[in-house]
């Protein structure tokens, strides 16, 4: 059997950071399990975050009006993307699992990692309007977020000052990863390690090591499938009336993003759901 590959897309500036320790635990444990582990250390690579015409080699399709998405899709089809983008796309193609390792910056990923997503996950390569969400190009691959926070867990509770962490994660997990088809594994969240005792940080790392032993067998998070929607652009890609009717008696909405005016399904973006209430 061919050796399976895991890609870790890593964004932290310091070699001595807790994020670096988390990355190293993952790389070691997965290697010990027989996986080939590739690490894209974005700061060490000096990865370019901004999306510009420099990402296209050769002539533009429409030089009078530069549209990044259209131009990169055209360049991808003709193998004319810049070398750094193509190198990362080859890593994505090879990987069964991608782990994004980062500190949470302003409720999202650091700019350099956002740049990786903007530049590497180009239209055509990572998605199309015909191939998205559960029918997406990467539907046979898995991806997950692993990140540290400055805030405590209580601050990200539904009644915490920062609001529900499930709402925070929806754009990244649904709007980026699941949109490209990835089966999204529950995030690994390291709450406020900078303010924890050393013993607590050690326990966090050991908990992560334990999870890694069965990580690729985990059930992914639940999202509303394309079959719930009218996929005609003329009809606005709206939820089908019969689906709305089927969920009228449910306590919770379908997902964080498709709540239907109901309470958000608990832990929709942080734990795999055991109940079928959210999807049936």
Query: What are the angstrom distances between the C-alpha of 94 and each of 34, 108, 146?
Result: 15, 26, 20
Mean pLDDT calculated for residue range 137-144 = 98
Distance between alpha carbon 190 and the CA centroid of its chain, in Å?
Answer: 16
Give tens-digit pLDDT for 191-216.
999 999 999 999 999 999 999 999 99
> 26: number of CA atoms within 13 Å, CB side?
28
What confidence tens digit (pLDDT) does each residue in 106-123 have? 999 999 999 999 999 999
Q: How far is CA 71 from CA 128, 163, 241, in A?
A: 14, 38, 37
Report pLDDT digits (tens) over 34-89. Answer: 999 999 999 999 999 999 999 999 999 999 999 999 999 999 999 999 999 999 99
Specify the pLDDT at position 227: 95
54's enclosing H/E stretch is none
The pLDDT of residue 274: 62
Q: Could you identify the residue written with the tokens 């942080």?
A: 270
- Predicted confidence at residue 36, as pLDDT, reads 97
Distances (CA, A) of 63 to 69, 71, 81, 93, 97: 14, 9, 16, 30, 37
Q: CA separation (Å) from 28 to 23, 24, 92, 141, 216?
A: 9, 6, 20, 21, 15
Please give the pLDDT value at position 234: 84
Mean pLDDT to the nearest integer, 127-156: 96
* Token digits of residue 204: 């966090």
Q: Which residues of 54-86 are buried (b: 16+ CB within 10 A; e: fewer)?
A: ebbeeeeeeeeeeebeebbbbbbeeebbbebbb
How does residue 235 score in pLDDT terms, banded at 50, 70 and 90? confident
**pLDDT the model gives residue 241:** 93
CA–CA distance from 260 to each of 56, 239, 265 (Å)? 42, 10, 11
User: Could you give the C-alpha distances from 61 to 43, 67, 74, 114, 123, in angstroms and in order?
Assistant: 31, 9, 7, 25, 15
Taking CA atoms, 275 is separated from 94, 252, 265, in Å, by: 33, 12, 11
Q: What is the pTM of this model?
A: 0.95
Which phi and psi (to 5°) does residue 19 adopt? -60, -40
Residue 273: which of 227, 218, 213 has the closest Cα? Answer: 218
> Hey, what are 88's tokens?
């990362």
Read off φ and ψ for residue 123, nearest 5 degrees: -60, 140
Domains and CATH numbers, the chain: 5-219 (3.40.50.360), 222-280 (no CATH)
């Amino acid at each position: 059997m061919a050796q399976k590959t895991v890609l870790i897309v890593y964004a932290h500036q310091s070699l001595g950071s807790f994020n670096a320790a988390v990355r190293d635990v993952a790389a070691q444990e997965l290697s010990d399990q027989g996986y080939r582990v590739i690490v894209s250390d974005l700061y060490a690579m000096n990865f370019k975050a901004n999306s510009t015409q420099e990402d296209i080699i050769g002539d533009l399709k429409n030089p009078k009006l530069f549209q990044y998405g259209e131009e990169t899709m055209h360049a991808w089809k003709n193998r004319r993307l810049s070398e750094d983008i193509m190198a990362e796309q080859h890593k994505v193609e090879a990987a069964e699992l991608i782990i994004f390792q980062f500190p949470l910056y302003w409720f999202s990923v650091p700019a350099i990692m956002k740049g990786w997503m903007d530049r590497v996950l180009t239209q055509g390569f990572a998605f199309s309007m015909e191939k998205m969400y559960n029918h997406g190009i990467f539907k046979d691959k898995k991806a997950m977020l692993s990140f540290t926070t400055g805030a405590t867990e209580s601050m990200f509770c539904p009644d915490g000052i920062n609001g529900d962490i499930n709402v925070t994660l929806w754009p990244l997990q649904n709007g980026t990863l699941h949109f490209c088809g990835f089966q999204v594994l529950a995030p690994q969240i390291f709450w406020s390690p900078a303010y924890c005792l050393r013993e607590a940080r050690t326990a966090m790392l050991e908990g992560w090591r334990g999870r890694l032993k069965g990580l690729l067998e985990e059930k992914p998070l639940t999202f509303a499938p394309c079959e719930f929607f009218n996929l005609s652009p003329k009809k606005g890609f709206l939820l089908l009336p019969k689906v709305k009717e089927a969920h009228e008696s449910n306590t919770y909405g379908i997902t964080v993003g498709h709540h239907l005016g109901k309470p958000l399904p608990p832990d929709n973006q942080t734990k795999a759901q055991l109940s079928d209430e959210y999807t049936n």
